[in-house]
Structure 1
Amino acid sequence: MLRTLAFLCLSLFAVCPQAFAAIELHDVSGRTVTLDTPAKRLLVDDGRIIFALSFLSDDPASLIAAWPHDIDRLGRAPYAALEKLSPKIGTLPATGSNASGMSAEAILSVDPDLVVLSVYSQFADDRVHLLERAGVPVIYVDFVTDPLENADNSLLLLGAATGHAAAAQKLVAFRSAHRDAIARRLQQAGRVERPSLFLETHASATGQCCFSPGKAGIGRLVAFAGAENIGNALGNKPFGQLTIEAIFTADPQIYIASGGAYMKDRDGLLIGPGFTAEDERQSLDRLLNRPGFNALSAVENGRVHAMDRHLFDPVIDILALELLAKWAHPDLFADLDVDATRTALDQMTPLGVARGYWRGAGK
């Protein structure tokens, strides 16, 4: 009888392993989703999610069933590395992005075992319900609207969903330690001046001016780093547009331009792998030569910096946070070696984190 019972138990385990491998996921929107086994065919609505996955898996493309082919969001350097690692990434089905929406029918046609959407996705609730009724689970992640709270939770969520929980926990611990070091030093310093800061995103010499984070999104990083974001005037939005008059009135003590390879055809800031220091200097000079900019206190006092937009992306936004802290409080964080953090991150992903994503911070 005992042998029969043991055989039955072993047989049940062999036939129904999913009963012992259920994964309960609590996503950033408050929903609970259960997977029988780790997901292996993800449909994502933002290329940056693939970059996040590259810190959890040595072959992130193997986890992707379809993606928006939004190469500039993923980053041109990371995409080139991804394509070299997994040439099939360019041939995978293309979906709509979180900005354009997607049809449930198109999603079902690629047979995903998990759909990963951004919290601000245009994908309607009724289509989510349609997917779930068809047996396709959906989770929401967030690396944009609240990078301090939701980014780590999203990494843990992706790790649990794909069977890489240990890697996600290690990564989150690394990020937390670096954030805590900044917070601890600011706290130990007591009452320190919070310099006013203007972070111009998508900075262009001839295009529309002047885009800035609000209190949400990157604005959370600015506040955490101990600076006063003049974009707070935009309210709790993650992103918006300030008037020239508002910028001149605020007269920020620090000016940071952000851009990258995607700004090449928009007369914008050129920075990042593939661009020289001279490329960056010339494009930054064009930005500062716009009427009135050279009169800003930040420019007169030499507190002008530049960074690639890619630094605000998943995982490596910890570099943006360290740079913001160092640029806001150069004496307090004189020994903060941002490039050492970059080197550590470079070793954590097969896509690499190259030098050249920022200028003006020394180490």
Structure 2
Amino acid sequence: MRLSGRSAIAALGLFMASVLPALAVEVTDVTGRKVDVNVPARHVILGEGRQIYFLAALDKENPFQHVVGWRDDLPKADPESYAAYLEKYPEIAKLATFGGMKDGTFDIEQAVALKPDVIVMNLDAKTATEEAGYIEKLAKLGIPLVYVDFREKPMENTEPSMRIMGTLMGKEKVAEDFIAFRAEAIRKVTDTLEKNAPKKPLVFVERAGGYSDDCCMSFGNENFGRMVEIAGGTNMARDIIPGTFGSVNPEQIIASNPDQVIITGGMWEAYVPGGNWVGVGYGADLQEAHRKLENLTKRPAFTGIKAVNDGEIHAIWHQFYNNPYQFVAIQQIAKWLHPDLFKDLDPEATFKQLHERFLPLAYKPGYFVSLKDE
């Protein structure tokens, strides 16, 4: 059988990867730790299942080919994406799964038995990892652990985290292409705002609205809070929440009287069956999401506020808070906050282009919904 040119190149790449020895390099992770890792890594443990979001952006053909284990969160936190990956790569059903560092259910003996070249951990697991002494225990066995971050300070750490992963996986060029694509998508927002200097609406971002009966989790000066600022708004909670995550009380929302409200949501049936969360995400039912979004406006915290009266209530995929695709969220938020300025900006097209250029899955809409939508 004669291979096509593209297939031959891919086959050659796989052959070369299998016969060339790994090269020991020093990697500096997002905490500043210098870690020696053999690259490209051929056996990787993902400390969180949702880390596939950035691994997929580096390997469009088969992002799982070097994954030997991962945390068990993706089927619960993002079941639609998991189902799509499972359909395309059925072998992932057999991957070893782990609990989390923070909840103390990570099985280090199981991890060691898989003989990984590297374990990739999110920055938010750092304290738990250190308290358990995992870094030292793994180091004695020659297993390096590297921290990346797309959650705590994503606007600061996304680029270095993608470069770290590019180095680990031998995908440096793809990582740089992705970083350039992301930067250009953000510039389409920031250049327009700099040129026009519009008035900034006051925005309240509710984290996982309807996930519980409590109100209201939000974001401080990073993550979605920072995305709002980049998109030309003022984050209501920036002076209330000192760090990235925290809560505001209903009275604060009513007193602040935000111009717009953005609620993060997802399909969380596995966590909160029949919950009031807004089920946006990969291929979501936007009519049902619209209905649930409207129901959330009836809570006491939203009584009489300007955003409700003007219908400026929106929902956005929660997982933008934990992956390098957050530039799509910035574009969508900018379009909600300044519809006249960004009438020609198309976040859906940006996200579709991301899938076509970098990701193994075909794009499906469903990530955004607004009460202004029909």
Q: Does 1:236 align with 2:242?
A: yes
Inter-partner Cα distance in structure 1 for 2:363 and 2:100: 24
Distance 1:73 1:143, change over 3 A: farther
RMSD value, Cα:
2.2
Q: 1:193 aligns with which of 191, 194, 199?
A: 199
Distance 1:156 1:206, change over 3 A: closer
Q: Does 1:259 align with 2:268?
A: no
* Aligned-pair CA distance for 1:90: 2.2
Paired position in structure 1 for 2:28: 26
Paired position in structure 1 for 2:43: 41
Inter-partner Cα distance in structure 1 for 2:284 and 2:94: 28
Q: 2:153 aligns with which of 146, 162, 174?
A: 146
Secondary structure at 1:181 match in 2: helix
* Aligned-pair CA distance for 1:39: 0.4
Paired position in structure 2 for 1:332: 341
Inter-partner Cα distance in structure 2 for 1:289 and 1:332: 30
Paired position in structure 2 for 1:157: 164
Letter of the 1:220 partner, please give it.
Answer: R
* Aligned-pair CA distance for 1:206: 6.5
Q: 2:143 aligns with which of 136, 144, 149?
A: 136
Paired position in structure 2 for 1:110: 114
Secondary structure at 2:199 match in 1: coil
* Aligned-pair CA distance for 1:194: 1.6
Larger radius of gyration: 1
Inter-partner Cα distance in structure 2 for 1:218 and 1:72: 23
Inter-partner Cα distance in structure 1 for 2:230 and 2:164: 24
Inter-partner Cα distance in structure 2 for 1:353 and 1:146: 27
Letter of the 2:346 partner, please give it.
Answer: D
- Gapped runs of 5+ residues in structure 1? 1-15
Q: 1:222 aligns with which of 221, 228, 231?
A: 228
Inter-partner Cα distance in structure 2 for 1:270 and 1:95: 26
Normalised by the size of structure 1, how large is the TM-score? 0.88
Letter of the 2:46 partner, please give it.
Answer: V
* Aligned-pair CA distance for 1:103: 4.5
Paired position in structure 1 for 2:360: 350
Q: 1:286 aligns with which of 287, 295, 301?
A: 295
Paired position in structure 2 for 1:10: none
Q: 2:185 aligns with which of 166, 178, 181?
A: 178
Inter-partner Cα distance in structure 1 for 2:300 and 2:241: 27
Inter-partner Cα distance in structure 1 for 2:36 and 2:218: 38
Cα displacement string for residues 51-89 of structure 1 (whole angstroms, at most 9, x for unaligned residues): 210111121122211111102566222211211122222
Q: Does 1:309 align with 2:318?
A: yes
* Aligned-pair CA distance for 1:98: 4.0
2:205–2:225 Cα contact (<8 Å) kept: no
Q: Does 1:67 align with 2:70?
A: yes
Distance 1:242 1:316, change over 3 A: same
Q: Does 1:295 align with 2:304?
A: yes
2:40–2:168 Cα contact (<8 Å) kept: yes
Letter of the 1:123 partner, please give it.
Answer: T
Inter-partner Cα distance in structure 2 for 1:205 and 1:155: 30
Worse-matched range after superposition: 141-150 or 63-72: 63-72
Secondary structure at 1:249 match in 2: helix
* Aligned-pair CA distance for 1:217: 2.3
Secondary structure at 1:36 match in 2: strand
Worse-matched range after superposition: 324-333 or 353-362: 353-362
Worse-matched range after superposition: 96-105 or 222-231: 96-105
Q: 1:82 aligns with which of 45, 69, 85?
A: 85
Distance 1:292 1:28, change over 3 A: closer
